[in-house]
Structure 1
Amino acid sequence: MKYRYYVILLLTLVILVSISGCASKSPEEAAETSVISFLNAVNEGENGVAFDMYRGKDFLVPASITMIFGNKGIEQGGVKGITIVSNEVAGPVAIIKAECSVSILDLMGKEKDAKVVPIYFRVQDTDLGWIITRVSFDYPLEIDDAEIVDVEVEKTPVDMIADNALLIGVVSFAMLGSGVYLDKKDNAKKKEKSRTIDVLNATPLQKEVIMQYVKIMPPQQTTVGSKTAIDVWVKNSAQQPYRNFAVKAKFGNTVDVKTVNLFFETIAPGETAKRTWIIKPKVSGWVAIEEPTVVFEYAYTKYIGVLDPVWVQVQ
């Protein structure tokens, strides 16, 4: 019996020491852990997890994390290493600079080089723990300028989205591109309708490669008989222009579409271009835009890739 009591006492002491060790974690270590956990979640594509670690105005919805990091050249799975360069704590606020080693991929999705991307974080100690309240890619953050954010524990991410519903659409558009938006006007609409997309002798690309620079943005929902815009965005992050860039898709008989083939022509390095499908649904339910196909020329080679279907809810 005495032996059992000694074992129980020993286990109790171990548990108490473990709890004490966790509780005595320094503010620097706790803030740093939050930043590393956030970056790991972003790198693994777990935007919901990353969004739960954040309270601020940089990201209004989880999907915006992917868009903003993607615009800075950080795609899912692209971060190969995280280094904390500096960590300054003053009261409940910490300013942390992290450097991410990011892979640079070629058009075939293979790693060809790596670069270091600095990211600056403001982290705040709250009832939820250390929460990230500010993220900057462009300039360092100062501890003296840090504002205390009122973090309400009872609010959920869904509540925050509802509170900012009026801003989500506008801000989501703005976050899609960091360069110059190209919205070239159609000078000859009849000619555009008769044009076809040449796919002969094109080299196939995986959809994961195409998704890095082509984004199709359907509306959350629309109504029967109303004209609805579905924007297709293309960003050229390469060193050479995309030539004869075009996108097409298959539309069912439950929807009218003004122009099936979208022609972007030439997209220069660093530019972001947009074309739009205008559809008019005939019935309620879900409308599918099937087999979105991208065709373009890069460095004297023609490429083709097919993305997943895009769904639009019709009421």
Structure 2
Amino acid sequence: MEKKYTLRDIAQLANVSFKTVSRVINNETGVRKETKEKVLRVLKETNYTMNYYAKGLSQNKTFQILVVSDIDRDNYPVQRTSIIINNIIKEANNEKYKVVLVNNLDELESNYMGVLEKGYYDGMIVLNSPRNNALLEEVEKLGVPVIVSGKNDKFTYVGTDHETGAYLAANYLFKSGMSDIHLLLDNPNWPTHDEKIKGFHKAFLDNHIPFEPNRIITDLSNSTDVFQYVEKHFKNDTLPNGLIISSDFSALGAIKAINKYQIPCPDKVSVIGFGNMPICTEVFPELTSVEQDFERIGQILVQKLVKKLAGEQTTSYKIKTELVVRKSTL
């Protein structure tokens, strides 16, 4: 098999620096004629083939992007986050970019700030960044554009219209005759939850129903927490007749409690999740859910970053939602 030479191999064979080889390939000035001829001779003798990295040198690009995942904090990593990442990779390949995946922001800070500073990556995508993250500001100061998923006040973002989604869910329950509706969230500091709260509150106003802050329950971070919430309120005979839950997977806790205690659903309690993941049709009763198009989120994240890398103006983008009604609601 014919050996594939790298730019560093070329530099070693020509007895010049890596930077000199890149200058020759880029046809830059400042290289002596005899040195340039020597490098070109080695390139020809080795039958050197330009790769993405070499091509990128001539355009001041590496054609690599860094994607910071939240997969290690996601309770169900094979679902939402993986769908987004898979579609980031597909869209990046279409744009001739390679993707390097980082597990979380801690790993980014520990292991990647140096290589970002050296220009090894053209841009960065961060999934579900916490609000106003100072580390991401440092990244942009290094000249590396950042796009985030979810919601963020300081960076261009791509995400779901959570405000409309929560409004659609609450309004549907009100129109179905429910009056005691609660919104169950995990970490209230995530900016997308602010959007859910706005939409939830607006539905109360539009339906002329008094709103009380205790209708919003926070820090229910997984399905176990939601199961315990439903179990407690069922035993105390204080269970609301409508539950809107921040994710489909957390909503599985409500479905589990409904089945364990044989709570009539949707007659006694209606349940709505967020995401519209495939699991919604694999449970009983099938789960009504707010649609989140995770495939499109992945695609648009890359498209926005590519535009930013081309020097174009970019704006944040919210994907419209719709309510997919199933048997967990009337």
| Larger helix share, 1 or 2 | 2
TM-score between the two structures when normalised by the length of structure 1: 0.26
Q: Which structure has more RCO (C-alpha within 8 Å, separation ≥ 6)? A: 2
